Amino acid sequence: MTTQHIHRLILEDDQGRKEYPLEGLSYSIGRDKRADIRIASMFVNRQQATLIRQVREDGSYFYQIVDGNAKGKPSTNGVLLNGQKCKAHYLQDQDEIIFGPQVRATYYTTDTRPNVPGKKPKLGGLYVQSPEENTNEFPLKHTEVQAKVTGNISRVEVTQTFENPFNSTLEATYIFPLPDEAAVDDMEIRIGDRTIKGNIKKRIEAQQIYQQAKKQGRTAGLLEQERDNIFTQSLANIKPGEQIDVVIRYTDSLKFLGGNYEFVFPMVVGPRYIPGTTIDTNTVGGGSAPTPMAMNQDTDLVPDASRLNAPILPPGSRSGHDIKVTVDIDAGVEIQDVHSPSHQIQIERQRYQMQVTLAKRDTIPNKDLILRYQVASDRTQTTVLTQADKRGGHFAVYLIPAIDYPQEQFVPKDVLFLIDTSGSQHGEPLKKCQELMRRFINGLNPNDTFNIMDFSDTTRQLSPVPLP
């Protein structure tokens, strides 16, 4: 059991002495009327400093002080810690902080252990932004994934159910991963008896429509693609106690390798390296989320870095919800060797069709689901798959190669190798090319033929006829 320690900040200025118990995720400090810890002094900036809660590996926490606001913009006057100017510092018991003339504070804590933050796994989810720039997690009640795979094409519907437990109307941000080649073509938000259908618009136009609806007090949603595999959903004007279903539908193609199809459903927003120098402008990238969703700040090299990583859960904690995944597969041919290297699964099968679900003991969404199954056999197979809806019907013809073929079935081929022998390739590059050529030639079948042509300022051919 983790011992609960007390953290407090005692502020002293010309108006007296005031004590602030510290428990929240962050505290803004300054002259601004909206500051969590307000200092009524003309010598202090509106956003002088920020206290940020840091989490250790065991789940306990301590506080870090950062000069300026939570977006990375420093104050004009700076902050003195124990007489030394600092930009950021992990606070220790009885550290003295000077914000300006006759304005000082002392940090007290009963926890005297070293301040070492734990590792921070990134998880997708729905987050709300408070006026004080705190980021709070919406409780995610349930996630359900329904996937239908026909041949090499998957049609996936993802439904995540949240509930607003707070006492005020909120704007929320929902960050989640999808396959990097998925085509999202449908989105809807269900709130009570209402269903909000999504329309595809150009990004700037969509942002303008969303902001207008938000100002009018209407419930609205905006889905934006941040990277190939990261999406952000903004939800405006969510009333207290409302249950929210966010439904995303997309189409994706399965990888085919070695006679096996591979279906992947991502569940975790992976951490990203953010290079460059922090910039003060454009602090929310190109999207519509009201504040950064993580401690990443926009940089000159990654101007939308603040939108790429979700807030974090403390190390050692698990996601507060489970996930249900159902994958219906129609391969058109016999399915063999169904397995998942990532999860425990349950299988119900017919000859050409199969339903795969997650085992009850493996439903925590803390890693990507990978599902593989074999469709290739010892001979070439053909099949026709059809599908129809109110828009009409279509069919697809599949030719599935065998896992291996007898030598006598190989069709002889004539291979021409082109090699660049210009001056830029002399030395090590040309040696590597020669090694690669030997491997290619040794890998040819007995009835294959080959020839080699090199080019520089002129061209030469090894032989006037193909060689066996």
CATH number at residue 87: 2.60.200.20
- Flag whether 364 is in a domain: no
pLDDT tens, residue by residue, 14-69: 888 899 999 887 899 999 988 999 998 888 998 899 998 887 666 678 888 988 88
Q: How many helices (H) and strands (E) does the chain have?
A: 2, 33
The count of domains in the chain is 2
Report if residue 454 sits inside a domain. yes
Find the domain containing 442 and state its range: 408-461
Please tell me the least confidently modeled range out of 150-164, 281-295, 352-366, 404-418. 281-295
The answer to whether residue 63 sits within a structural domain is: yes
Point out the domain boundary residue: 53, 84, 112: 112
Confidence of residue 130 (pLDDT cuts 50, 70, 90): very low
Alpha carbons 160 and 145: distance in angstroms, whole number: 9
Name the burial class of residue 66, with classes exposed (0-12), middle (13-18) and buried (19+) by CB atoms within 10 angstroms of its CB.
buried
Q: Is 29 helix (H, G, I), strand (E, B) or coil?
A: strand
**In the listed set 94, 112, 130, which residue is the last one of a domain according to the structure?**
112
Cβ-Cβ contacts under 8 Å for 204 (sequence gap 6 or more): none
Tell me the average pLDDT across 203-211. Answer: 85
Last residue of one domain, picked from the residues 112, 127, 149 = 112
Higher-confidence position of 59 and 387: 387
The per-residue pLDDT for range 261-317, each reduced to its tens digit, is 999 998 877 666 677 777 654 444 444 444 434 445 677 677 776 666 655 554 444
pLDDT score of 145: 93
Q: Strands (DSSP E) along 110-219, which ranges?
A: 125-129, 135-137, 140-150, 153-163, 170-177, 183-191, 194-197
**Mean pLDDT of the chain, nearest integer:** 80
- The answer to whether the beta carbons of residues 269 and 310 sit under 8 Å apart is yes
Does some domain include residue 435? yes
Query: 425 in a domain, yes or no?
Result: yes
pLDDT value of position 371: 94
Over pLDDT 90: what percentage of the chain?
19
